[in-house]
Each structure stands twice: as C-alpha cells, then as structure tokens.
Amino acid sequence: MEHRKLGEQGLEVAAIGYGAMGMTMAYGQGGDEASHIATLRKAHELGVSMFDTAEIYGFGTGANERLVGEAVHRFRDEVVLATKFGFDVERWAERGLNSRPDNIRKVTENSLRYLDTEFIDVLYQHRVDPDVPIEEVAGTVGELIEQGKVRFFGLSEAGPETIRRAHATYPVSVLQTEYSIFERSVEEAILPVLEELGIGFVAYSPLGRGFLTGDFKPAAEYPEDDMRSYDPRWQGEDYERNAAAVGALKELAGEKGITVGQLALAWLLAQKDYIVPIPGTRRVERLEENVGAADVELTAEDLKRIQAILPEGAYGDRYKAGTMPEWD
C-alpha cells in the first residue's frame, strides 16, 4: 500500500489506517476478543500500519489499548501505535476533561503498560482542555518525547489558534479530526493551517459512522449503546436526505465497479496527500473492502459529481446538542 508522510518530524504510515474505537465503545456489542484480535492482525497482513486507540475507549480500564497491544505485539516494530489522553474518566458521562501535566504523565504510563510497548508512536490530546494552557500540554508531551516514551505529538479536534500555539511550543506532527464526504468543516478552517505549518491529518469517522458504507437504518432501529441511535444525522428528515445522497453516491460507485465505502475513502485520499483515514470495523470482509480503496483512482469528473451530490456535507449536526467539539 502507498505510504504517506504525516508532518515534518518523520512520521510515515500506510494510506489507510485502522481506528479501533468501535471494538469496545460507541457501536454496541459485536464480536469477541479473539475475533477482534484476528481482525487487527488481518489489517496488518493487508498493509495497514497505523492503529489508533485511546484511554477513553476502554473507559479507563485499558480494555481497548490492551486489545490493540496484544494484537500487534508480535509485529510491534512494523506498526505505528497512536493513543490519546485528555478525558477525565471519572467524569466521562459529563464529558469531563483533564489535560493537566500530571494526568498526561499518568495516562501515558498506563498506556505504555496496556499496549505492552516501550514507546507510543503518536500521543494525541483527545480534546482541548480550556482549563489547561495548550503550551503546558505541548511542553509535557515534548518532555515525554525527549524521554523516549513518545515519538510524535498529536492533537485532536483542535482549532486553528490552538494548533498554532501548540506547534510554537513543540512541533505537532498530526491533527486528528472528523472528515469525510459527510463532514467538511475542516476544509476552510483547518486544512490551510496544517499546510502552512507542515502538519499531517488523520481523518476519523471517514465513512460517516457507517452511513457511507451504504449499510444503515433509522436511529430507532439501533440499540441504546450505539451512538447512531441518537446521532442527529440518523433522525427524521435529515436521515431521509442523507439516505438519498448515499443512494446517488452508490450509483456512481457502481459505475466504477467499487462500493460506496471505497468511493468515500478514495475521495478522502484524493483531497490532500497528507491525509490518512482511519476507518474502523469488526468484520474482515469490510476491512478488506476498506484497504482496497487505496487502489481506487477518482477522475476530476468523479470528484465533481460527488461535490454536486453533497456540496456542503451531510444534513444534520455531527454530534448531538451539548457534545459538539468547539474550535477556537
């Protein structure tokens, strides 16, 4: 698979990464530990090199990080492990944050243990903490890098001013934020800043939380522990309009002999050469489909048709009220 550079500090990964959140969080129950590990190892076989996890994906228990760590242990030196700090796991229900230096160090030590690794390749601040200056966060991660516990500094869902201030304190290699045909807000506000500063971009939810796979149903048909049961884009008229748009995308994909999911991932890869999407799945067949998107080439006409179908992204907010990340 093609590899891409993320930032100017030496980080390089395969064009398609893997997001492990859904194995333990947000998408209901499905599969078991053995099947999850098999899927992660299959991703490596297919050329995926970046595996993304976080403290909060295990609600502070390390469940998600342990899963990833066990899966990649035998080929650890061939992959990039990315994890995140920044939530207060004791106040998760109210979206509590904690990026104080002492907590960053504590979470990092836990993650090293859970992942069973001597170093973390990419350490992200998961969400910007308004109570802790970003300079303190960047400085603390910089110290961890100098100590050899971390290789690269990342931010997630940070706005332009925060990115600039962090980068001025310690070089930011990569920003992770939602981006897809459905979610386009980074295009005007964020990508120009990344280009100016030489920062890479990792796109989470590149398949619109599953909507862009073409496999979807109304919110009421998902279990309560599945975020799609309350996601605004799965509700009412917004759901109907999004479903119609995906139908049009599916028609284009069919003309090209690919799936709508592959079309969506190929669209992301075509936007900038410093973008790496991290789709997540529990199913090997879907994994193989996702990786296959790296070989799809879209023409200028294809991109024009996609733009016409969803000129401003999906209908409806990307998070329910009160939980939307705020950028400066």
Q: Which residues of 250-269 are buried (b: 16+ CB within 10 A; e: fewer)?
A: bebbeeeebbbbbbbbbbbb
Nearest one of 86, 97, 149 to 119, comparing CA atoms: 149
Q: Which residues of 184-198 are buried (b: 16+ CB within 10 A; e: fewer)?
A: bebeeebbebbeebe
Set 18, 27, 57, 179: catalytic member = 57
Q: Judge residue 94's burial from the number of C-beta atoms within 10 Å of its C-beta, 0-12 exposed, 13-18 middle, 19 or more buried.
A: exposed
Q: Annotated catalytic, 27?
A: no
The DSSP code sequence of 31-59 is S-HHHHHHHHHHHHHTT--EEE--GGGGT
Q: What is the dihedral of CA 44, 48, 52, 53, to 10 degrees?
A: -20
The DSSP code sequence of 239-293 is HHHHHHHHHHHHHHHHHHTS-HHHHHHHHHHHH-TTEEE----S-HHHHHHHHHG
CA 268 to chain centre: 13
d(C-alpha 265, C-alpha 278), whole Å: 9
CA 258 to chain centre: 23
Q: Which amino acid is at 64?
A: N
Contact of 164 with 193, CB cutoff 8 Å: yes
What are the distances in angstroms from CA 282 to CA 276, 278, 295? 19, 13, 22
Q: Which residues are catalytic?
A: 57
